[in-house]
Amino acid sequence: MSVENGWQTLAGERWMTLNEALKQAESYDQGALALLKTLITTVETCISEATQGPLGTAKPLRALAQFGEGMDARGVLLYEPHQRPNGESLANLSTSGTTRALVQRHGLPVLVDTTAGHMEFVGGPGERVNLRVTGELPTLSRMMLQGREASHVLAFPIRDARRQVLGVITVELRCPQGVSASAEPLGVWARRLQQLIDEAAPQLLSLRVVTDPSLDKSVDLPVLGVTMRGVVNRLLSFARYKEPVLITGPSGVGKTTLALWAHERSPRSSQPFEALSLLAVPDELLDSTLLGHVKGAFTGADRDRDGAFARAQGGTLFIDDIDALSPRAQTVLLGVLERQSFRRLGEDQRREQALDVRFLFGSHVDLWALVEKGRFRADLLQRISGLTVAVPSLGQRQEELPGWVGYMARRFASQNGLAPTTVNDAAIAKLAAVDWPGNLRQLDQTVRRACIRAEERAPKGAEHIVVGADDAAFAIAEDSRRRPAAAPAAQERDEDWRSLLQRAVVAYVTEAERRGRADETRLSLEDAKVFRELVVLEATTRFGKAEGFRALDEGEMVRQGNHSKRLASAAAFVAAFTKRLGP
């Protein structure tokens, strides 16, 4: 019997066993674990077939299933057949973000050689799709995967009946040196594994997601609707790992509360928890705030001071509003995350401290959109978003509103020594009819105002206070009166000239690289002078010819009467530049 015919027989037997396990599974986790175990045993079979080649000594390390952030409570599930002697897992639950994105975008399996940093698609039988045109595996991903002994990664789409990619499964291998992603046996293995995944996907996706029963007993999250239950269960699955988590969602949804909740359910729960909002830290103080400083490091540094990194050592650091980082600060943070070490400002380079911190990050904006605009580093985002939890707005979980209103009223009464306070149905109906752009934070302030008004109107010495529709209407009107007119988005309002300049630089370099790949007219370093000439045109258009040059500190040129000639030169340069490069 040929190897391929033998495989078909074995595949049929293996699928029947897996199919039975999926039928017996009572939850998604049980079904996914059965699939991951089957994939590992299949790889072991493939290795046993390759005894004559270098892959005969390969070893499967782990398999991991990861769904996108919109897949309810389905988060990450890991299976490791061979644990280290001390039982510690090398996996940190993150695969390469670039690899995941390619699998999700194209719906094809991807082979990764972490040593060479090479990736390529795997097509149908006998078909290989080269991925070199898409780029190489980022250095950070290579370091991360090699750090847990993975020389090769096979990444597969989990597809529904419509072939829509809902998640990614990765299998990490340790192969002998010299085995490339182009090695044909790896392509054969990948097609075999993808076949099993495709056959299992319909049953796997139909299995119910069981949330942890402890969620119902959480005092930190007193109200959990159907939508949030899945989100929190996903966060719980991430809590026990050191891998960074990015918590996204509108302002006021409770990202800091969720970060603390995750910390308290992690192995680091007995260690410090530090929370830092970057909106509250001026850029010039950010280095000192994060790194700390020694006495004399700068004017005003009158004593040694630990930064957030040192205070969070051994524990968790939650950095909210990560989108507010300036380009310079992004580089600083990325360097710390890469080195896993830091030193205080003004400290000797030999005093570098090892960093033992679990990072959680928060953002209320689309960070990938900022990457496309050149305002956020793609490599930093990839580093911090391996695990992502998207928190819906209050408007997307309306079923929670009555519960939150009641809880907020009881809490306010208890904190202020008031009589027991409840909110009647009419008041809740008033509150439910309102759009809450500020989410839970805004709702809490409004409920507090309603409670104060209800207490003022209640008979003196009342043993029970009821917040009615009139109280709710008053509080809503007061909230509207106090709320300022629509302000520009924070990321636009807070953007400084350095960020704008960085965007222009990134756009120029990106276009230069694109033209090089597309074999179009190249952009040179000399061509970058167009920035200077465009500044001249903008200033003179905005302020007038003479005043424009004065605004650019060229008053002497105006006094000598040379500014008209200089303006004509700028216009000619820009015109020639545009004509040469085309639209």
Query: Cα separations (Å) of 531 from 105, 327, 454, 501, 503?
Result: 35, 20, 62, 10, 13
Any idea what the CATH number is for the domain that residue 320 is in?
3.40.50.300
Question: Is 487 a domain residue?
Answer: no
Question: Is 336 a domain residue?
Answer: yes
How far apart (Å, rounded) are the C-alpha atoms in residues 445 and 434? Answer: 14
Reference 391, options 214, 230, 208; nearest CA is 230
- Residue 259 sits in the same domain as residue 234: yes
- Residue 274 sits in the same domain as residue 405: no
* Identity of residue 552: L
**Span 535-581, pLDDT tens digits:** 888 777 666 677 778 888 888 888 888 888 888 888 788 878 877 77
SS3 assignment, position 93: coil
**Span 298-315, pLDDT tens digits:** 777 778 888 899 999 999
- pLDDT averaged over every residue in the chain: 80
- Residue 179 sits in the same domain as residue 45: yes
Any idea what the CATH number is for the domain that residue 119 is in?
3.30.450
Query: Cα separations (Å) of 274 from 192, 319, 386, 388?
Result: 46, 8, 21, 20
pLDDT band at 70 (very low <50, low <70, confident <90, very high): very low
Of 339, 360, 390, which residue is a domain's last?
390
Of 453, 482, 511, which residue is a domain's last?
482
Question: Is 429 a domain residue?
Answer: yes
Least confident range from 143-157, 245-259, 321-335: namely 143-157
Question: Is 492 a domain residue?
Answer: no
- Residue 460 sits in the same domain as residue 535: no
Query: Cα separations (Å) of 423 from 223, 427, 472?
Result: 16, 6, 9
Q: Does residue 146 or residue 255 have the better pLDDT?
A: 255
Gyration radius from the chain CA atoms: 29
Q: What is the mean pLDDT of residues 70-95?
A: 57
- Residue 230 sits in the same domain as residue 193: no
Q: Which pLDDT belongs to residue 14?
A: 78
**Span 481-535, pLDDT tens digits:** 766 554 444 444 444 566 667 667 767 777 777 777 777 788 888 888 888 988 8
| Model confidence, pTM | 0.61
- Residue 297 sits in the same domain as residue 446: no
Of 375, 390, 405, which residue is a domain's last?
390
Q: Are strands 316-320 and 110-113 parallel, antiparallel or unpaired?
A: unpaired
Paired tokens of 214: 């402890």
The whole domain housing 75 covers 3-206
Reference 465, options 492, 427, 510; nearest CA is 427
Q: Which pLDDT belongs to residue 97?
A: 61
- Residue 32 sits in the same domain as residue 124: yes
Total domains, the chain: 4
Q: Does residue 244 or residue 3 have the better pLDDT?
A: 244
- Residue 225 sits in the same domain as residue 295: yes
DSSP conformational letter for 345: B
- Residue 262 sits in the same domain as residue 361: yes
- Residue 228 sits in the same domain as residue 85: no
**Span 282-300, pLDDT tens digits:** 877 888 888 888 887 777 7
**Span 400-425, pLDDT tens digits:** 999 999 999 999 999 999 999 999 99
- Residue 165 sits in the same domain as residue 146: yes
How far apart (Å, rounded) are the C-alpha atoms in residues 37 and 43? Answer: 10
